[in-house]
C-alpha cells in the first residue's frame, strides 16, 4: 500500500492523497494584480476530487510586490478574480489555501507605490533581482522599517486574510521563506535591528508570530499555516545559528495548533537544483523533532522520494512544483508510475497560456488512437 496515496487530514479537511500543488509564482495576473480566466483554468486543470492546492505567493500589502504580474489581495478589487479561481477548484472537489507574502527588500522601486524604496528589517546590501516592465532588474537598495510601521505590516496580513474569506479560500499560508520579509526578519544576516524586532530569536520571530496570530484571528488556527526554508540561502539569506533559530521558530509555531507547517528542503535554490546544498541541512527530519503537527515538505521530490519521506514520518504530505507545472494530472501519473511531461523553464515566469495551460494530461494508447 502506498502511504503517499492514503487519506490524510489537514486541519478540518480530509484529502484522498498526500500530493500537494506547491505555491508557484507564475506571474499571469491581469492589470491591477487581479487573477483572470487564464489563472482560473490553470488551477482547475490541477484539481481533482480530494486534491489540495496552495495558490501562488500573493501580495498582502501595496508595497509588498517583487514581481510584475504577481496577484494581490491587498485591495477589494482583487477579490472577484480570486473567487473565480476558488469556484473552479471547489467545483472539481478540491480545496485551496492562499499563500500571502510580502517581498520586503526583494523588490524594485518600479513596483513600489509612488516609486518609493522597498522596505526591510535593516539596510544591508544584498543582490537579487525583481521583475518589472524592463524584465529582470536588480533590486533597489531598501530602507529599514521604522518600529511604528510594523503594526501596519501585521494589519495588512490580517486584512488580506479577511479578503481571502470573501474570495472563497479554504485557508491561508504565510510565506516566511525564500528571502522575503518574514525571512528577512528571522535571519540575522539581514536583520541588524536593536529594537524589539531584532537581536534574540524571540525578537526576530516576533513579526512572523504577530502576523500569524493576526491571520488566526480571522480564520482560526486550524485553517492557517506557515512556510519556512530553514536552510535556504535564496535572496542572500544567512544566519549565524540557523539550527537554534529554526528550532525556536518550529517550537513557537507548534504552540499555535496550525493546519500545517510547510518546509522547503535545501536541495532546491529558488527554482533550480542546488548542487552545493548543505550536506547536513536543517530540513523536515530535524524539524520533526520539534514539531509534532502536520508537516508538508517541498523541494525537488520525485514520486519515490515523496513516498519515502512520508513513510519515514518526517512529513505528512509532499508539495510538488516544477513537475506539477508540466503535468496537470501529476497525482495520477505518480500513482500509476506513468511518464512525466518535461517542463519548459523559460515559460515559468510571465507570458501567455504557453507553458502554463497547454501541458497535456496523460492519454492511454487507446485514447490516442481514438
pLDDT band (50, 70, 90) for residue 368: very low
Residue 136, Cα to own-chain centre: how many angstroms? Answer: 21
Sign of CA dihedral 271, 32, 174, 204: positive
**Domain assignment of residue 170, given as a range:** 8-369
Q: Which three cell numbers stand for residue 261?
A: 507547517
Mean pLDDT of all residues in 220-232 = 94
Check residue 231 and give its pLDDT: 80
336 part of a folded domain: yes
112 part of a folded domain: yes
105 part of a folded domain: yes
Dihedral (Cα; 231, 99, 351, 50), 10-degree rounding? 100
Number of CB atoms found within 10 A of residue 219's CB: 20
Mean pLDDT of all residues in 58-66 = 97
Q: Which three cell numbers stand for residue 117?
A: 524604496
> Over the stretch 150-166, which tens digit does the pLDDT of each residue have?
999 999 999 999 999 99
Region of poorest pLDDT, from 54-68, 97-111, 113-127, 354-368: 354-368
Dihedral (Cα; 105, 110, 116, 122), 10-degree rounding? 10
249 part of a folded domain: yes
Burial of 339 per CB tally in 10 Å (0-12, 13-18, 19+): exposed
243 part of a folded domain: yes
Domain count, the chain: 1
Of residues 347 and 272, more confidence is placed in: 347
Check residue 201 and give its pLDDT: 98
What whole-number distance in Å separates Cα of residue 27 and Cα of residue 70? 5
184 part of a folded domain: yes
Q: Residue 91: what are its φ and ψ, rounded to 5°?
A: -65, -25
Q: Examine the pLDDT at 19 and tell me if it is beyond 80.
A: yes
Check residue 122 and give its pLDDT: 98
> Over the stretch 163-203, which tens digit does the pLDDT of each residue have?
999 999 999 999 999 999 999 999 999 999 999 999 999 99
> Over the stretch 253-271, which tens digit does the pLDDT of each residue have?
999 999 999 999 876 555 5
Query: Any idea which residues carry the catalytic annotation?
Result: 180
1 part of a folded domain: no
Q: Examine the pLDDT at 369 and tell me if it is beyond 50.
A: no
**CATH number for position 210:** 3.20.20.70
DSSP assignment letter at 28: -
Check residue 284 and give its pLDDT: 86
Nearest to 48 by CA among 93, 84, 85: 93
Check residue 1 and give its pLDDT: 80
Check residue 272 and give its pLDDT: 53
141 part of a folded domain: yes
pLDDT band (50, 70, 90) for residue 275: low
* pLDDT > 90 in the chain, percent: 89
DSSP assignment letter at 202: H
pLDDT band (50, 70, 90) for residue 232: confident
pLDDT band (50, 70, 90) for residue 134: very high
What whole-number distance in Å separates Cα of residue 175 and Cα of residue 164? 15
Check residue 364 and give its pLDDT: 56
Amino acid at each position: 500500500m502506498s502511504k503517499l496515496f492514503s487519506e490524510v487530514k489537514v486541519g478540518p479537511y480530509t484529502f484522498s492523497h498526500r500530493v500537494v500543488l506547491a505555491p508557484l509564482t507564475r506571474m499571469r495576473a491581469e492589470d491591477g494584480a487581479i487573477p483572470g480566466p487564464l489563472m482560473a483554468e490553470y488551477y482547475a486543470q490541477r484539481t481533482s476530487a480530494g486534491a489540495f492546492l496552495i495558490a501562488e505567493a500573493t501580495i498582502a500589502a501595496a508595497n509588498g510586490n517583487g514581481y510584475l504580474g504577481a496577484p494581490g489581495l491587498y485591495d477589494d478589487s482583487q477579490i472577484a478574480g480570486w473567487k473565480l479561481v476558488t469556484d473552479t477548484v471547489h467545483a472539481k472537489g478540491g480545496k485551496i489555501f492562499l499563500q500571502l507574502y510580502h517581498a520586503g527588500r526583494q523588490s524594485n522601486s518600479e513596483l513600489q507605490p509612488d516609486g518609493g524604496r522597498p522596505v526591510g528589517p535593516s539596510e544591508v546590501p544584498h543582490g537579487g533581482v525583481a521583475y518589472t516592465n524592463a524584465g529582470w532588474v536588480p533590486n533597489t537598495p531598501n530602507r529599514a522599517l521604522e518600529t511604528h510601521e510594523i503594526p501596519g505590516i501585521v494589519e495588512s496580513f490580517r486584512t488580506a486574510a479577511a479578503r481571502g474569506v470573501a474570495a472563497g479560500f479554504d485557508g491561508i499560508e504565510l510565506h516566511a521563506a525564500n528571502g522575503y520579509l518574514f525571512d528577512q526578519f528571522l535571519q540575522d544576516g539581514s536583520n541588524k535591528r536593536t529594537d524589539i524586532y531584532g537581536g534574540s530569536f524571540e525578537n526576530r520571530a516576533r513579526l512572523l508570530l504577530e502576523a500569524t496570530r493576526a491571520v488566526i484571528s480571522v480564520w482560526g488556527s486550524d485553517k492557517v499555516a506557515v512556510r519556512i526554508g530553514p536552510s535556504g540561502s535564496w535572496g542572500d539569506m544567512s544566519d549565524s545559528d540557523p539550527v537554534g533559530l529554526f528550532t525556536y521558530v518550529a517550537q513557537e509555531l507548534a504552540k499555535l495548533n496550525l493546519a500545517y507547517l510547510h518546509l522547503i528542503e535545501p536541495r532546491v535554490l529558488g527554482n533550480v537544483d542546488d548542487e552545493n546544498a548543505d550536506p547536513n541541512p536543517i530540513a523536515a527530519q530535524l524539524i520533526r523533532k520539534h514539531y509534532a503537527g502536520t508537516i508538508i515538505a517541498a523541494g525537488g521530490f520525485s514520486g519515490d522520494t515523496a513516498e519515502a519521506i512520508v513513510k519515514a514520518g518526517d512529513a505528512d504530505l509532499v508539495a510538488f512544483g516544477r513537475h506539477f507545472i508540466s503535468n496537470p494530472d501529476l497525482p495520477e501519473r505518480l500513482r500509476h508510475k506513468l511518464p512525466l511531461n518535461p517542463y519548459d523553464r523559460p515559460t515559468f515566469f510571465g507570458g501567455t497560456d504557453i507553458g502554463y495551460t497547454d501541458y497535456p494530461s496523460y492519454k492511454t494508447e487507446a485514447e490516442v488512437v481514438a
